[in-house]
Structure 1
Amino acid sequence: MTYVLLLVGFALLIKGADYFVEGSSTIAAMLKISPLLIGLTIVAFGTSSPEATVSILAALDGNAGVAIGNVVGSNIFNITLVVGITAMINPLKVESTTIRKEIPFTLLASVTLLVLIADMTLQGFDENLITRSDGLVFLLIFAVFLYYIFEVARNNRESSSDTTPIEKKGPIGKYILFTVGGLVAIIFGGDLVVDSATEIAFSFGMSQTLVGLTIVAVGTSLPELITSITAAIKKQSEIALGNIVGSNIFNILFVLGASSLISPLAVIDEIFIDIILMIILTVVLLIFSKTQYKIAKSEGFVLAAAYIAYMIYIILRN
Structure 2
Amino acid sequence: MLFHAAALVLGAMFLYFGAEWLVKGSAGLALAFGLRPLVVGLTVVAYGTSAPELTVSLAAVIEGRGAIALGNAVGSNVANLGLILGLTALISPPRVEGGLIWREIPFLVGTAAVVPLLLVDGSMSRLEGALLCAAAVGYSVWVVRSARGGAAAGAPPSRPTPDERGAIEAAREMEADAERAGAPAGTGKARLALITVVGLGLLVFGGKVFVDGAVGVALGVGMSERLVGLTIVAVGTSLPELATSVIAALRGHSAIAVGNVVGSNIFNVLIILGGAALARPLEGSLGAMAVDLIALGAVTAFAAIAIRTERVIRRAEGVALLAMYAAFLVALVVAG
| TM-score of the pair, normalised by structure 1 | 0.89
Cα distance in 2 for residues equivalent to 1:86 and 1:179? 29
1:219 aligns with 2:222: no
How far does residue 238 in structure 1 lie from its aligned partner after superposition?
Answer: 5.0
Any unmatched runs of 5+ in structure 2? Answer: 177-184
How far does residue 28 in structure 1 lie from its aligned partner after superposition?
Answer: 4.7
Task: Report the equivalent of 1:279.
Answer: 297
- Deviation digits for residues 253-298 of structure 1 (CA, Å, limit 9, x no counterpart): 1111111111111103322331232122111111111343121122
- Residue pair 2:128, 2:277 contacting (<8 A) in 1 also: yes
Cα distance in 2 for residues equivalent to 1:42 and 1:213? 26
How far does residue 160 in structure 1 lie from its aligned partner after superposition?
Answer: 4.6
How far does residue 60 in structure 1 lie from its aligned partner after superposition?
Answer: 0.8
Percent of pairs identical after alignment?
Answer: 38
The range that moved more, 68-77 or 265-274, is 265-274
Report matched runs for 1:74-113 at 5 Å: 74-113=76-115
Task: Report the equivalent of 1:240.
Answer: 257
1:263 aligns with 2:300: no
How far does residue 229 in structure 1 lie from its aligned partner after superposition?
Answer: 1.8
Residue type matched to 2:201 in 1?
V
Task: Report the equivalent of 1:299.
Answer: 317
Cα distance in 1 for residues equivalent to 2:319 and 2:41? 23
2:148 aligned residue (154, 163, 186): 154
SS of the residue corresponding to residue 91 of structure 1 reads coil
- Residue pair 1:13, 1:50 contacting (<8 A) in 2 also: yes
RMSD: 2.3
- Deviation digits for residues 163-190 of structure 1 (CA, Å, limit 9, x no counterpart): 5795976423333322221121111100
How far does residue 214 in structure 1 lie from its aligned partner after superposition?
Answer: 0.6
How far does residue 65 in structure 1 lie from its aligned partner after superposition?
Answer: 0.7
* Distance change in 2, residues 1:25/1:234 (3 Å): farther
- Residue pair 2:103, 2:143 contacting (<8 A) in 1 also: no
How far does residue 202 in structure 1 lie from its aligned partner after superposition?
Answer: 1.7
Q: How many residues align?
A: 309
Task: Report the equivalent of 1:141.
Answer: 135
- Residue pair 1:39, 1:239 contacting (<8 A) in 2 also: no
- Residue pair 2:22, 2:197 contacting (<8 A) in 1 also: yes
Cα distance in 2 for residues equivalent to 1:34 and 1:154? 11
How far does residue 243 in structure 1 lie from its aligned partner after superposition?
Answer: 1.2
- Residue pair 2:7, 2:213 contacting (<8 A) in 1 also: yes
Residue type matched to 1:147 in 2?
V
Task: Report the equivalent of 1:176.
Answer: 193
Task: Report the equivalent of 2:36.
Answer: 33
Residue type matched to 2:145 in 1?
E
* Distance change in 2, residues 1:229/1:32 (3 Å): farther
- Residue pair 2:14, 2:206 contacting (<8 A) in 1 also: yes
How far does residue 234 in structure 1 lie from its aligned partner after superposition?
Answer: 3.7
Cα distance in 2 for residues equivalent to 1:130 and 1:16? 29
Task: Report the equivalent of 1:123.
Answer: none
- Deviation digits for residues 46-99 of structure 1 (CA, Å, limit 9, x no counterpart): 121110001111111111110100000000000111101111221111111211
* Distance change in 2, residues 1:4/1:11 (3 Å): same
How far does residue 304 in structure 1 lie from its aligned partner after superposition?
Answer: 1.4
Residue type matched to 1:85 in 2?
L
The range that moved more, 53-62 or 25-34, is 25-34
